[in-house]
Amino acid sequence: MALRKTESTRFSGSQPAPSRAGTEHDIMQRLLATLGTMAAVAGFAYQADGATLGAIGGRAWKDSDTDCFETSSYSSSVRNECSSNEAYLVPVQIPSNSTTNYRFYATSDAGPNTTIGTPPRCRVLVVNRYSTDYEYSDDINVWNNTTIASSMSVASTDTVHYDCVMPGTGESFPHGLASVRFTAL
Amino acid sequence: MTASKRTLAALVFGATSALALAIVILQNRDDEKRAAKLEKRMKELSELVESAPRVEEHRTIVETRVPAVAAVAAAQAQAPAPEEPAENEEEPEPPSSEDKAAYAQSVFDTEPVDAGWATQTRRELDTALGQYLGASTLAALECKSALCRAEVKHASRADLRKFLDGVLGNSHDVWRGPMGIYQVEAADDGRVVQNLYFARKGTPLPRL
């Protein structure tokens, strides 16, 4: 299955503040509760102090590369089926209303303790609310539950993405990206 | 199942359905009351925001954003004390682009120079950034022992966007260590100046 572009994830600045207007707020609360349940069932869930997300929630950095990314036939990971390396973004919604330090992790589909083949390389990108500032963490090889950034402060108005370069089929034993995770410190 | 049991089961089912229906109706009535109350409160707040003066600050920040921020801040200053403090308090404004760049610059200024690393890294960054400059200008590029600093000037927003698309879309090729890009000047005619900081792989980016 080719992944489709998910709009509004490309550095569009801060998310609009949640509406607190009357029944709309109640409806939103109920809707979010339902979506939360569905998300948990689907294999990812947000908590107040962190979350784990399937890599399938991401998208190609460039529209022209969208068709390169496929879900694995034997796992929920995302793989690059093009021959060259391609950039892949996984948006992260920080569930906080204050500036908080977070630790970011990622897992490739190499399986536990497997360190052969070519893993994805990921880094965390934090963009401010005006899309004028861009801050990247180190570029790290992703294996099993790898720490990508040990501590990054994130304001509630910031936008956060995992920015990964996914090895293409031209690499030896290219791995996909299985999931990303973050926790509040 | 006997006829009496069937009748009993039908009665229980009917009673349960009626009870569920009653709960839904009551909940909807409650929702309507709360909606009316909140609508009234929203109207009051809207009037307050419209009549509030705007705060003039952070002039370099994108202008379309500032009036909204200023109006909300002014409204908060005039609004009566909230009934439930603490829970809905807004986060203090995060550091500005200028503050972030100034902090990184202060760290850069005090750093000693590792001549070998500085020369080689400067050359690599010059090549990497040069690919995406287009009509923009690399006004300065200097490396020390664990940090490099670049200044890029753009004549228009289109040039800025083109440069950012190139650098952000190929960030893994441009630089593998931590990296910070800050917009430090933005003129009305579209000219923009950015300061870029590149930290040596394995070392932290000086961040506020």
State the CATH number of the domain containing residue B178.
3.30.1360.100
The pLDDT value recorded for residue A23 is: 38
CA-CA-CA-CA torsion sign (B60, B64, B65, B69): positive
Query: Is there a single domain that holds both residue B63 and residue B108?
Result: no
Top residue of A131, A133, A153, A164 to mutate, by most chain B CBs within 10 Å, is A133
Q: What is the ipTM of this complex?
A: 0.73
Query: Is there a single domain that holds both residue B56 and residue B138?
Result: no
pLDDT above 90: residue B195? yes
In a domain, A13, yes or no: no
Q: Which of B137, B128, B116 minimizes the C-alpha distance to B193?
A: B137
The pLDDT value recorded for residue B146 is: 96
Nearest to A99 among B94, B176, B182 (CB): B94
The residues, any chain, with a CB within 8 Å of residue A178's CB and separated by 6 or more, are: A54, A55, A75, A76, A77, A107, A108, A109
- Alpha helices (H) in B52-205, listed in sequence order: 66-78, 97-110, 115-130, 157-169, 171-174
Do the beta carbons of residue B135 and residue B159 sit within 8 Å?
A: yes
Whole-number Å distance between alpha carbons of A170 and B57: 52
In a domain, B154, yes or no: yes
Amino acid at B109: D
The pLDDT value recorded for residue A37 is: 39
Query: Is there a single domain that holds both residue B117 and residue B67?
Result: no
For residue B147, which phi and psi values (nearest 5 degrees)? -135, 145
Do the beta carbons of residue B149 and residue A107 sit within 8 Å?
A: no
In a domain, B85, yes or no: no
Query: Is there a single domain that holds both residue A133 and residue A110?
Result: yes
pLDDT above 70: residue B113? yes
The pLDDT value recorded for residue B71 is: 37
The pLDDT value recorded for residue B7 is: 66
Is A121 near chain B, with CB under 8 Å? yes
The pLDDT value recorded for residue B80 is: 44
The residue of chain A nearest to residue B65, with distances taken between CA atoms, is: A130
Query: Is there a single domain that holds both residue B101 and residue B70?
Result: no
Query: Is there a single domain that holds both residue A35 and residue A125?
Result: no
Do the beta carbons of residue A77 and residue A167 sit within 8 Å?
A: no
State the residue range of the domain holding A123: 48-184
Do the beta carbons of residue A55 and residue A148 sit within 8 Å?
A: no
The pLDDT profile of chain A, 185 residues, written as one tens digit per residue, is 444 333 333 333 333 333 333 333 443 344 344 344 344 334 445 555 778 888 888 999 888 889 999 987 667 789 999 999 999 999 998 877 889 999 999 999 875 656 689 999 999 999 999 999 999 999 999 998 999 999 999 999 999 999 999 999 999 899 999 999 999 99
State the residue range of the domain holding B20: 3-78
The residue of chain A nearest to residue B205, with distances taken between CA atoms, is: A137
Query: Is there a single domain that holds both residue A111 and residue A85?
Result: yes
Query: Is there a single domain that holds both residue A35 and residue A112?
Result: no
- Read off the pLDDT of each residue in B126-131 and give the average, rounded to a whole number: 97
**Which of residues A44, A61, A82 is at a domain's end?**
A44
Q: Say how many domains are in chain B.
A: 2
Query: Is there a single domain that holds both residue A136 and residue A73?
Result: yes
Amino acid at B195: N
For residue B172, which phi and psi values (nearest 5 degrees)? -70, -25
CA angle A150, B176, B124 (to 5 degrees): 150
Query: Is there a single domain that holds both residue B45 and residue B136?
Result: no
DSSP one-letter string for B97-136: HHHHHHHHHHHHHHPPP-HHHHHHHHHHHHHHHHTT-TT-
The residues, any chain, with a CB within 8 Å of residue A184's CB and separated by 6 or more, are: A48, A49, A50, A96, A100, A101, A102
Query: Is there a single domain that holds both residue A32 and residue A65?
Result: no
In a domain, A160, yes or no: yes
Measure the CA dihedral A31/A36/A39/A40, to 10°.
-150
In a domain, A92, yes or no: yes
In a domain, B204, yes or no: no
Query: Is there a single domain that holds both residue A97 and residue A38?
Result: no
Q: Say how many domains are in chain A.
A: 2
Whole-number Å distance between alpha carbons of A127 and B204: 17
In a domain, B84, yes or no: no
In a domain, B87, yes or no: no
The pLDDT value recorded for residue B48 is: 47
Helix (H) or strand (E) holding A101: strand A100-108
**Which of residues B29, B50, B78 is at a domain's end?**
B78
In a domain, A3, yes or no: no
In a domain, A5, yes or no: no
Query: Is there a single domain that holds both residue B105 and residue B64?
Result: no
Query: Is there a single domain that holds both residue A88 and residue A120?
Result: yes
- Read off the pLDDT of each residue in B127-154 and give the average, rounded to a whole number: 97
Averaged pLDDT score across all residues of chain B: 76
Query: Is there a single domain that holds both residue B130 and residue B176?
Result: yes
In a domain, A167, yes or no: yes
The pLDDT value recorded for residue B151 is: 98
In a domain, A169, yes or no: yes
Query: Is there a single domain that holds both residue B104 and residue B58?
Result: no
Phi and psi based region of residue A182 (left: phi greater than 0; alpha: psi -120 to 50; beta: remaining): beta
Is A129 near chain B, with CB under 8 Å? yes
Residue B177, number of CB atoms within 10 A of its CB: 21
Q: Which of A60, A55, A4, A73 minimizes the C-alpha distance to A178?
A: A55
Nearest to B94 among A20, A62, A157 (CB): A157
Query: Is there a single domain that holds both residue A22 and residue A99?
Result: no
Contact between A132 and B171 using a beta-carbon 8 Å cutoff: no
In a domain, B83, yes or no: no
Query: Is there a single domain that holds both residue A37 and residue A52?
Result: no
Helix, strand, coil percentages, rounded to 5, for chain B: 50, 15, 35
pTM of the model: 0.66
pLDDT tens for each residue of B5-29: 666 666 666 666 666 666 656 566 6
CATH number, domain with residue A149: 2.60.120.260
Whole-number Å distance between alpha carbons of A29 and A13: 23
Amino acid at B84: E
pLDDT tens for each residue of B65-97: 333 333 333 433 444 444 444 555 666 788 888
Query: Is there a single domain that holds both residue A125 and residue A65?
Result: yes
pLDDT above 90: residue B102? yes
CA end-to-end distance (rounded Å), chain B: 75
The residue of chain A nearest to residue B157, with distances taken between CA atoms, is: A132
Is B202 near chain A, with CB under 8 Å? yes
The residues, any chain, with a CB within 8 Å of residue B154's CB and separated by 6 or more, are: B135, B136, B160, B163, B191, B192, B193, B194
In a domain, A6, yes or no: no
Query: Is there a single domain that holds both residue A55 and residue A28?
Result: no
Query: Is there a single domain that holds both residue B160 and residue B103?
Result: yes
Contact between A138 and B31 using a beta-carbon 8 Å cutoff: no
